[in-house]
Amino acid sequence: MTQIRPRAGSSNAPRYHRAPRRDGMKLLRLWVPDPSRSGFKEEAARQAALLKGAAEEAEALNFIESAFDWPEQ
Q: What is the pLDDT of residue 35?
A: 96
Q: pLDDT confidence of 57, banded at 50, 70, 90?
A: confident
User: Which band of pLDDT confidence, cut at 50, 70 and 90, is reported for residue 2?
Assistant: low
CB atoms within 10 A of CB 57: 13
C-alpha distances (whole Å) from 50 to each of 10, 14, 53 are: 45, 44, 8
| pLDDT tens per residue, range 5-48 | 766 665 677 777 788 888 999 988 999 999 999 999 999 999 98
Task: Give dist(CA 32, CA 40) in Å, integer.
Answer: 11
Helices (H) and strands (E) in the chain, counts: 3, 0
d(C-alpha 71, C-alpha 11), whole Å:
32
Q: Tell me the pTM.
A: 0.48
